[in-house]
Amino acid sequence: MPDHNKLSPWWFVVFEGEARAKFGEVLKRAYALEDKEAATAKLDLEAERFTRAPVVIAVISRIKEGKAPQWEQVLSAGAVAYNLCLAANALGFGTNWVTEWTAYNTEVQRELGLDDRDHIAGFIYIGTETEKQEERERPALADVVNYWSPDYTPQKGDKYGKAGLGIPKTGFKSVS
Ligand SMILES: Cc1cc2nc3c(=O)[nH]c(=O)nc-3n(C[C@H](O)[C@H](O)[C@H](O)COP(=O)(O)O)c2cc1C
């Protein structure tokens, strides 16, 4: 597992069996915070969210004390989530890594026991695929892959989406 300094800067919550529907009570309450006017039917639908797959795994990034900068610890959480997808795919299962509104909802975070050091990297839905996913547009390699030479002009993929302001440097410094 890519993990600088062996910090294990991540933890997991597995939802399987009845726990998926049971957690729906939390999702219902949480969604009401997102949309105060949500109809009962919509709240019931949101409650079923985790029942869309036999297993849903929340991957949570947790910043630890250690030599690895916080930025690298966040990257490690992304890597652990993707490795989870690849491992499940290798076993023949389909996976879907989503954050949706659930990853950012304070009620969901509170129920799962997150604190300031924790961020939900995503929910990995795992199951047997019933239909092939639609292919999506992919960037051309020439737009993102560069071969360095002393006078090169790097292609940074800016034609795909707007350039952002970057990750704030505050909070992403080394925590040694
Ligand atoms: C951190 C993260 C969050 C994501 N959240 C969502 C999401 O909320 N909804 C969604 O449709 N796709 C989301 N995706 C995209 C899908 O997981 C996936 O990358 C996309 O469907 C393309 O998959 P493929 O490259 O295997 O075809 C997210 C991806 C990442 C890395």
Q: Where are the beta strands (DSSP E) in 38-175?
A: 55-62, 94-98, 118-127
Residue 170's pLDDT is what? Answer: 52
pLDDT tens string 44-85: 999 999 999 999 999 999 999 988 999 999 999 999 999 999
Give ∠ CA 103-109-110 in degrees, rounded to 5.
165
**pTM confidence score:** 0.93
- Do residues 59 and 12 make contact, with C-beta atoms less than 8 angstroms apart? yes
Q: How far apart are CA 10 and CA 2, in angstroms?
A: 12
The answer to whether the Cα torsion of 37, 114, 103, 12 is positive or negative is negative
Residue 174's pLDDT is what? Answer: 52
Q: Whose CA is nearest to atom 4 of ligand 1?
A: 98
Q: How confident is the model at residue 176 (pLDDT cuts 50, 70, 90)?
A: very low
> Ligand 1 centroid to 44 CA: how many Å?
24
The answer to whether position 140 is within a domain reads no
CA-96 nearest atom, ligand 1 = 17
Q: 55: domain range?
A: 10-130
Q: What is the mean pLDDT of residues 84-89?
A: 98
Q: How far apart are CA 43 and CA 31, in angstroms?
A: 7
* Residue 8 phi, psi (nearest 5): 45, 60
CA-97 nearest atom, ligand 1 = 17
Query: What is the enclosing helix (H) or strand (E) of 133?
Result: none
Around ligand 1, the residues with Cβ closer than 6 Å are: 96-100, 122, 136
The answer to whether position 108 is within a domain reads yes
pLDDT tens string 93-139: 999 999 999 999 999 999 999 999 999 999 999 999 999 889 999 99
Q: How far apart are CA 175 and CA 7, in angstroms?
A: 12
The answer to whether position 116 is within a domain reads yes
The answer to whether position 88 is within a domain reads yes
Q: How far apart are CA 38 and CA 87, in angstroms?
A: 38
Q: What total number of domains does the chain contain?
A: 1
Residue 138's pLDDT is what? Answer: 95
Query: CATH code at 53?
Result: 3.40.109.10
The answer to whether position 113 is within a domain reads yes
Q: How confident is the model at residue 164 (pLDDT cuts 50, 70, 90)?
A: confident
The answer to whether position 55 is within a domain reads yes
> Ligand 1 centroid to 57 CA: how many Å?
15
